[in-house]
Structure 1
């Protein structure tokens, strides 16, 4: 009987969005939770676009002109450039990742995760909130580590050291489908960067920060 059940395969409900997978009947729900073709809502205000992750990435630039999505590998620290407003990271958790208890389960080890980093101007600087666009999985937890380091020197005497700043935050990231829009930033954990730690030449432009995405298995 078990062999019979395992032999029953069904089309993914997201076949209309490009998924060709045929998971076993008993694993259909697990597949849907990590399916890269599951439709996602656009975070743009009053935007009704709904499509797969790949379609959404193209929509971001073609319809809204947002910065190109940065692609990184999960569990690796990378330097990225973020701008005011929406910034997107596509984190790939490859099958060859080996991180012991911090690695995701085999059912989602080859999954990709789309993260939204929203940079908001504050009276004394800027803040960054992080959300994952997608459906939350009960078997894993997503974590994002953001860091920034800067040494400051006198603009009139580049050899005169003024001080250094080091910022680090580890954030447990919530998954959401954005059907009801984005949450209020004041209700979210924020990575806050005061203007005093930013170089004068970047206070009006982009910020280079370090980011590391981890997928933690709860099984």
Structure 2
């Protein structure tokens, strides 16, 4: 038996089951799960990479410098502990090392999304949202295709207009927020921020009385639940002086960034 085979056999023989206090795997400063790199001071106190600069690289327990020496032993512990995805009950079958759990959670596609209509309580996986909408809200949506400019007419008082890319099985929402200064318009995708969903941008054009406004966003945000709060970013603001009545007619193109 060669050395590599002996090592694998020893590793197999040493596999064991143990009960571990999960708090041991969390940063004692921010209480978030550890991710590599993990740093320690000369006295062995630990801190995650995010906390070190916030602490001005001074250990809160002993005031020794922290943020230079890595705790390789703790990093090895993290990499050796595998846990199921928190969305296992929803269908995710992946087991990931504890140190990469937070990264996987950002990429996992098995999160429950909430129907964007206020009077609907449906929750489901994003790829089931379109079929739910078509079956239950037949007059509340429009079909479209990405990368093609289309007309959008939305009643400002209705606040939202749902558009479905049936080919990609994705639900997009054009959302309006009326404020004294004008109307904020933004576009979101009802889906988790998973790579399998895809990445999209959007371009809006509004023309009235010979005046044309355009806005191009580098990102269509993927969200689990529609917010009723006015957006702080990623929006087009149509000033009050350019509004005519209670409806908006715009041109919209949602671009697929990953063909």
With the shorter chain as reference, the TM-score category is 0.5 to 0.7
Bigger CA radius of gyration: 2
The aligned residue for residue 165 of structure 1 is 211
Deviations 1:165-198 (CA, angstroms, capped at 9, x unpaired): 11111121111112xx526323332211123223
The aligned residue for residue 243 of structure 2 is 198
The aligned residue for residue 186 of structure 1 is 231
> Which of the pair is proportionally richer in strand?
1
Q: Where does structure 2 lack aligned partners over 5 or more consecutive residues?
A: 1-88, 95-107
Aligned length: 154
Counterpart CA distance in 1 for 2:183 and 2:132 is 30
Shift in alpha-carbon separation, 1:198–1:45, aligned structure 2, 3 A: closer
Q: Where does structure 1 lack aligned partners over 5 or more consecutive residues?
A: 1-12, 16-24, 26-31, 95-110, 153-163
The aligned residue for residue 206 of structure 2 is 148
The aligned residue for residue 254 of structure 2 is 213
The aligned residue for residue 117 of structure 1 is 174
Contact 2:153 2:250 (8 Å CA) reproduced: yes
The aligned residue for residue 42 of structure 1 is 115
Counterpart CA distance in 1 for 2:120 and 2:143 is 24
User: Matches of residues 49-64 of structure 1 in structure 2 within 5 Å?
Assistant: 49-51=122-124, 52-53=128-129, 54-59=131-136, 61=137
Contact 1:70 1:80 (8 Å CA) reproduced: no
Contact 2:151 2:251 (8 Å CA) reproduced: yes
TM-score between both structures, scaled by the size of structure 2: 0.49
Contact 1:73 1:91 (8 Å CA) reproduced: yes
Q: Which shows bigger deviation, 77-86 or 47-56?
A: 47-56
1:73 matched to 2:145: yes
Report which structure shows greater RCO (CA 8 Å, sep ≥6).
1
Q: SS where residue 55 of structure 1 aligns? A: helix
Counterpart CA distance in 2 for 1:57 and 1:191 is 28
CA RMSD of aligned residues (A): 3.6
Q: SS where residue 196 of structure 1 aligns? A: helix
Q: SS where residue 76 of structure 1 aligns? A: coil
